[in-house]
Amino acid sequence: MIELASIFAEDGTLARHLPGYRPRAQQLEMAQSIAAAIQGNRVLVAEAGTGTGKTYAYLVPALLSGSKVILSTGTKTLQDQLFHRDLPAVRDALKRPVSIALLKGRANYVCPYHLERAQSEGRFQSLEDAQAIHQIARWAKRTQTGDKAECNEVPEDSMAWLSATSTRENCLGQDCPHVKDCFVLAARRTAQESEVVVVNHHLFFADVMLRDEGLAELLPTCNTVIFDEAHQLPETASLFFGESVSTGQLLDLARDTRAEAMVGAKDFMPLQDATRSLEKAARDLRLALPGENLRLGAAQLDELVGLAPALGRLEDEMTRFVALLESQAERSEGLQRCWERSTELADRLARWRLPPGPEIVRWAELYSQSASLNATPLHVAGLFRKQIEGCARAWIFTSATLAVGRDFRHYCAELGLDALDPPPETALWGSPFHYAEQALLYAPSGMPDPNSRDYIDAVVEAAWPAICAAKGRAFVLCTSLRAMQRIHAELQSRVERDGLGFPMLLQGQGSRTELLERFRRLGNAILVASQSFWEGVDVPGDALSLVVIDKLPFAPPDDPLLAARIAAMREEGRNPFMEYQLPRAVINVKQGAGRLIRSEHDRGVLMICDPRMIEKPYGRRVWQSLPPMKRTRSREEVIAFLAALPPPGGEG
């Protein structure tokens, strides 16, 4: 521990090598706890408030451990930041020649085989996609990693990447004619050979699922797993421990089979015809599920008159399709792989149609162009705990939002950590920022019931004086897309009515990265957003001085997964609101609140419009979980606080 103290000291290793580094007592204590957990192969659940510097607090002991470490983050953006910036900086400061690797899911790497096929077929939805494929091809000749994040010419969300990358289903594996040039295999080999591997939660759980099939590559070889943004794990785990089949997967299967049949079974026309019949059956299923951007539970699905016939026709087509593919599978590796995919999807579809077990929730998710049929476990605690109990290694869970107040019971119960022997160690370090001086928590008075028809109008009316006093520079975080659209429209009309020059930004008008860059650059913008901006967004400095939250972010009670969990808890005689819904809402509020103060120089107002935080007995648990800001209900005090801030910079 003496070595860690000297590393994190005011004149220590990090201070000498990292510009702008400032020692924090919380950071050193956290690093010491993580080092002890790694050494003892223990489980540690650690919350570290904004500004603690938790990244360095886990990187230093990880690099000093001398063992293989997996670092799992919440997003690919954080992955890139860790691998390209933080890890090399700390490694160089410590002078530790530790080998590091970045590993993403296969959809992030260009596939030479599928890229070549896309170029030769020349079938694209638009001229833009065709141009993008040619740009990807030129970039693919010079890239060392194949990681599409490095291809500046084509946006990561371009539809062209679907034709230039592989999926687990359509990868030819060792039978691929380009196997020697495969970027996915190269990245995996590097990860196998490296001491520290940076992954994301989705890839981690994909590896867990492969381990259950005896195919995992990362977990068996590591000594320590560190989860950053660990509050996301319960949701991610539930997706991976479940099973789904989507109309998109079926359409991809039909398209890939048709392309393979054109090469390997050109003389067998029934297979070509079957691909089109499968496409029609998949699209008919989507049409039988009305709506978009919503989830439907089993009871709602059972009420849809056209669903059962559409499922029956799809299952019949799948049976015929599998049989035709099996008859041609030996003619090429591509057809063989398509047959294997078709068999797996047919089995999943058949299982989904069976009555689910008591611990499984059957539901559907509807998007604008596709739909997925999902079977998700009601609880992931037992499944996740099995992974931890599998072998001796250290497991570190860290985030700025894991506890409710100072209580970790909700989080530990969701992942089954509470049943471990010995139980996990827990620790909480508050932020080093001086919130009492830097921030106000504002609960406006006179707000109507959040379920009333005029609530959104009341939010805009209450927020507008604060937005004007802040001279823009505001995030308005909404709990629904409907509220987001209405609030944006109303604020836009007020900006125009009053002749103010506040640029209005709306989630969906560009990628999250693009919108954030514009927000920072403009310096006086108002960004109205929903779920994707509640966390992982960093705007230090004068560009953000006000964060408005429209409602306490309780998950909608008609969400099929939540409804099933609530029903199960009630059957057990438990209180689902206090034990499940409220703790989740508190953690989400903490995430949204964390957008406001990002450095010791930031100042601003957190405005939570929902009157339940003040008027309901449980509201105390919400505001007591937030950083220790000065609290007010006075609009005049808020306006005076914001008016005293430095004027906005940027181009605004």
Q: Are 496 and 368 in a shared domain?
A: no
Q: Give φ, ψ of 585 to 5 degrees.
A: -65, -40
pLDDT of residue 212: 54
pLDDT band for 649, please (50, 70, 90 cuts): low
Tokens read off for 374:
């999902």
Q: Are 455 and 546 in a shared domain?
A: yes
Q: Are 309 and 359 in a shared domain?
A: yes
Q: Which helix (H) or strand (E) holds 564?
A: helix 560-571
Bridge partners for 442 per DSSP: 607, 632
Strands 100-102 and 196-200 turn out to be: parallel
Q: What is the pLDDT of residues 295-341, one digit of tens each?
A: 999 999 999 999 999 999 999 999 999 999 999 999 998 899 999 99
pLDDT band for 651, please (50, 70, 90 cuts): very low
In a domain, residue 648? The reply is: no
Q: What is the pLDDT of residues 206-216, one digit of tens each?
A: 888 776 554 56
Q: Are 419 and 519 in a shared domain?
A: no
Q: Are 332 and 257 in a shared domain?
A: yes
Structural domain range at position 156: 106-181
Q: Are 492 and 617 in a shared domain?
A: yes
CATH number for 349 = 1.20.120
* Residue where a domain terminates, one of 411, 429, 447: 429
Question: Do residues 280 and 247 touch, judged by C-beta distance below 8 A?
Answer: no
Of 183, 120, 132, which Cα lies nearest the Cα of 157?
132
In the predicted model, is pLDDT for residue 490 greater than 70?
yes
Per-residue CA distances from 406 to 577, 589, 621 (Å): 19, 15, 10
pLDDT band for 180, please (50, 70, 90 cuts): very high
Per-residue b/e over 252-279, b at no fewer than 16 CB within 10 Å?
bbbbbbbbbbeebbeebeebeebbeebb
pLDDT band for 531, please (50, 70, 90 cuts): confident
pLDDT band for 424, please (50, 70, 90 cuts): very high
In the predicted model, is pLDDT for residue 123 greater than 80?
no
Q: Are 423 and 458 in a shared domain?
A: no
Bridge partners for 295 per DSSP: 365
Give CA–CA dist 116/134, Å, rounded: 10
Give CA–CA dist 104/75, Å, rounded: 10
The predicted model gives 507-528 an average pLDDT of: 91
DSSP 230: G
In a domain, residue 40? The reply is: yes
Per-residue CA distances from 389 to 35, 71, 385, 423, 638 (Å): 20, 19, 6, 12, 51
Q: How far is CA 529 from the centre of its chain?
A: 16
Report percent pLDDT > 90 for the chain: 75
Sort 157 into a burial class: Cβ within 10 Å, 0-12 / 13-18 / 19+.
Answer: exposed
Give CA–CA dist 622/583, Å, rounded: 9
Q: Which amino acid does the sequence have at 79?
A: Q
Q: Are 605 and 633 in a shared domain?
A: yes
Question: Do residues 508 and 527 touch, judged by C-beta distance below 8 A?
Answer: no
pLDDT of residue 650: 44
pLDDT of residue 297: 93
Whether the link from the prior residue into 356 is cis, omega within 30° of 0, is no
Question: Do residues 54 and 401 touch, judged by C-beta distance below 8 A?
Answer: no
pLDDT of residue 216: 60
In a domain, residue 122? The reply is: yes
Residue 529: strand, helix, or coil: strand
Q: Are 472 and 392 in a shared domain?
A: no
In a domain, residue 143? The reply is: yes
Tally of domains in the chain = 4
Of 40, 52, 74, which Cα lies nearest the Cα of 395?
40
In a domain, residue 651? The reply is: no
Angle at 190 between CA 184 and CA 196, to 5 degrees: 120
Q: What is the pLDDT of residues 321-331, one digit of tens each?
A: 999 999 999 99
Per-residue CA distances from 155 to 160, 182, 405, 511 (Å): 9, 22, 41, 10
Q: Are 595 and 510 in a shared domain?
A: yes
Give CA–CA dist 192/221, Å, rounded: 8
Give CA–CA dist 189/448, Å, rounded: 59
Q: Are 143 and 95 in a shared domain?
A: no
Q: Are 361 and 497 in a shared domain?
A: no
Residue 526: strand, helix, or coil: strand
pLDDT of residue 213: 53
pLDDT of residue 652: 38
Give CA–CA dist 141/121, Å, rounded: 19
Strands 371-377 and 360-366 turn out to be: antiparallel
Q: Give φ, ψ of 31 to 5 degrees.
A: -60, -40
In a domain, residue 72? The reply is: yes
CATH number for 69 = 3.40.50.300
Tokens read off for 318:
């799948």
Mean pLDDT of the chain: 92
To which residue do tokens 């030996």 refer? Answer: 330
Tokens read off for 261:
């049949």
In the predicted model, is pLDDT for residue 648 greater than 80?
no
pLDDT band for 422, please (50, 70, 90 cuts): very high
In a domain, residue 555? The reply is: yes
Q: What is the pLDDT of residues 559-617, one digit of tens each?
A: 999 999 999 999 999 999 999 999 999 999 999 999 999 888 899 999 999 999 999 99
Question: Do residues 93 and 21 touch, judged by C-beta distance below 8 A?
Answer: no
Of 570, 636, 577, which Cα lies nearest the Cα of 612?
577
Report percent pLDDT > 70 for the chain: 98
Residue 535 vs residue 436, higher pLDDT:
436
Bridge partners for 440 per DSSP: 605, 630
pLDDT of residue 2: 56
For the beta sheet containing 425-429, the strands, ordered from the edge strand earlier in sequence to the opposite edge, are 100-102, 196-200, 69-73, 224-227, 394-399, 43-48, 425-429
Of 502, 509, 494, 452, which Cα lies nearest the Cα of 473?
502
In a domain, residue 632? The reply is: yes
